[in-house]
Structure 1
Amino acid sequence: MALQMDPADTTRDSLLAKALSAAARSIDASCGRRFYLDAAATARTYNPNGRVLAADGGERLIVDDLGDTAGLLVEAGTGGVWTAITGYETGPDNALVRGRPVTALVMPAGTWGSGSTRVRVTARWGWPAVPDDVVQATLIQAARLFRRKDSPEGVTGSAEWGVVRLSRRDPDVWALIEHYILPGFG
C-alpha cells in the first residue's frame, strides 16, 4: 500500500475519500477535461465560429470530450428551433476503440453554419475509461494530499533529512498527466 496503512483500519476512510476526490478533480481542472463518463446524456450547445477547422476531409467542429456515441444526437438551429443533422462523422478515427474520447464532429460535405447558427450535441460527455496513467497520478496526488495534514505550512521533515519545503507540483504527477492537458490549461 502506498500509505502503509492496515486495511482493517477504517478510521481515516473519510479523509482518504476526500483526498482521492480532491486529487481527481484537481487533475481534471489542470488538464481542462473530465476523465469520467457522465451517467446520462446531456445537451451542449456550440457556436461554430472559432470552433471549426477546415481539413481535407471536411469541416471539423471541435467539441468537448465525448465518451460514448450511443444515442448521439447532433442538431443545428437558431432561436430554439433545432433540426437533426446527419452525414457527420466522429473524429479522431477509432478514438473510442483506443480508449480516447471523440473530440470533433466532421462534416465531409457541407458546413457547420455561421452567424447565429448553433450546433447542439446530446451525448455522454467525458472519457470512455480513465487512462491508467491518470489513475496512477490521482493516487500519487491523493496520497500527497492525505499526508499534507502532517506538513503544516508546506514543510515536512525527518530527523534523518531535516526540514524540507514541499514543491507546488509533484513532478511525477505532472509527467503522467502533461500529455492530456488541453491547450490553454495547466
Structure 2
Amino acid sequence: MAVEVEDAYLVARAQEGHLDAFEQLLHRHNLAAYRVALRMLGDDEDAQEVAREALVLAWRTLSQFTGNTSFVIWLYTIVTRATLDRLARGRSERTAQSHPMPTADEVAGGPSDIASAITALPPAQRIVLVLHHFEGLPYTDVATITGSTVPDTRRLLFRARRTLAATLGQWEVAAQ
C-alpha cells in the first residue's frame, strides 16, 4: 500500500504542475504500460508507440484523475483504450509484413507460439487475460479498467482460456 500512498502524493504534486513528480510516476509505471501494450499488440514498435501515446495522454488528462481508483488502474485504463483503438484502426503494414501469424506447419510449441496464440484472441478476451494473468490484477480491477462487471470479466477470461487452449491444442496436433 505504500506505493499507492506515494503515487497519490506524486499525482497531487503533478496536478499542481510539478513535472518531476509526473516523471517519477512515469519512471515507476512506464514498463507496465509497455508490457500491456506489447502483450495486446504482439509487436515491440507498436507497443512502444502505444505506451508512449498513453503516457502523453495521461499527462494531458491528469487534471481529470480524481483518485477514485489508484493511479495504476487509471493508467492501465488509458493504455488499454489506446491499445484497443490501435487494434480497431488495424495494425500497421510493417507489423503485418514483419510478424505474420504462424501457420500450423511453422509451429514448434515454443513461447513465441503462445504469444502468437494470445495475440490471435479477440481483443476483449485478450485484455482480460493480459490484465489478470500477466499483470496479476484481481477481477475487480480488470472490470474497472475494461468498464465491465466482475461476472462479465470472469466469463471473458473463461472464454479466453478455452480459446487459447483450443488454439494451442490445434497447433500441437497439426505440428505432429
Question: Would you say same fold, with TM above 0.5?
Answer: no
Larger proportion of helix: 2
TM-score tier, shorter chain, comes to: under 0.3
Q: TM-score when scaled to structure 2? A: 0.25
Larger Rg over CA atoms:
1
Higher relative contact order (Cα pairs below 8 Å, separated by 6+ residues): 1
Q: TM-score when scaled to structure 1? A: 0.24
Larger proportion of strand: 1
